[in-house]
A and B are shown apart, each in its own frame.
Chain A
Amino acid sequence: ETVMTQSPATLSVSPGERATLSCRASQSVSNNLAWYQQKPGQTPRLLIYGASTRATGIPARFSGSGSGTEFTLTINGLQSEDFAVYYCQQYNDWPPLTFGGGTKVEIK
């Protein structure tokens, strides 16, 4: 099973600043990685798939990078609606499909 580890667990950022979230895989997942955003009481929302491709309707301030075992989600110019929990998920080595534990982006 491929274990996904996200860091940090919590990230405090001021509105307008950049947030950088990390996701590490226990073995290579190539570029078969997705990122999701989840706000309290809401369902997860797909942001990125293929490590760097934005999903339909996702603003350009969200970008994904990386391959193999190291991945990054960058949010430029954080807006109020971006404060949420973010999850990475690998779909290279399955079953099982595995998610990271999440990074909470909170207002500084």
Chain B
Amino acid sequence: EVQLLESGGDLVQPGGSLRVSCEASGFIFSSYAMSWVRQAPGKGLEWVSSISGSANRTYYADSVKGRFTISRDNSKNTLYLQLNSLRAEDTAIYYCAYRLYYYDFWGQGTLVTVSS
């Protein structure tokens, strides 16, 4: 069974940085693209970024391009999202999601709060 476990969410000041992680199990991690989707408090879903299985292709929403970096360590079955130059509008639950186009497995999410 696919399992995704996020960690790393925290309270950070505007302009600060944070790295969130997603540990995966139950499937051959390196064979699948992975994605991050976020949800601001009381709001809808927003795709953030995706990465191919071999990590040679990455994709970003315009709202985070140049500030966030997606990466993965296939030896550790772990997906990462480095969040830099954080803004108040980046406050959200960040979900790790299995695959690229649509998402049949989601992690429980990790909360990133950007506030002074």
Residues of A within 8 A of B (CB): 32, 34, 36, 38, 43-44, 46, 49, 55-56, 87, 89, 91, 94-102
Which of B45, B47, B108 has the most chain A CB atoms closer than 10 A to its own CB?
B45
Cα A12 to Cα B96 in complex, Å, equals 31
Cα A59 to Cα B38 in complex, Å, equals 27
**Is B95 in contact with A43, judged by CB distance below 8 angstroms?**
yes
**Is B45 in contact with A44, judged by CB distance below 8 angstroms?**
yes
Q: How many cross-chain pairs have Cβ atoms below 8 Å apart between A and B?
A: 54
**Chain B residues within 8 Å of chain A by Cβ, number:** 20
**Is B44 in contact with A102, judged by CB distance below 8 angstroms?**
yes
Segment at the interface with A among B7-15, B16-24, B54-62, B79-87: B54-62
Q: Which residue of chain B is the closest to A56 with respect to CB atoms?
A: B104
Which of A38, A44, A97 has the most chain B CB atoms closer than 10 A to its own CB?
A97
**Is B47 in contact with A43, judged by CB distance below 8 angstroms?**
no
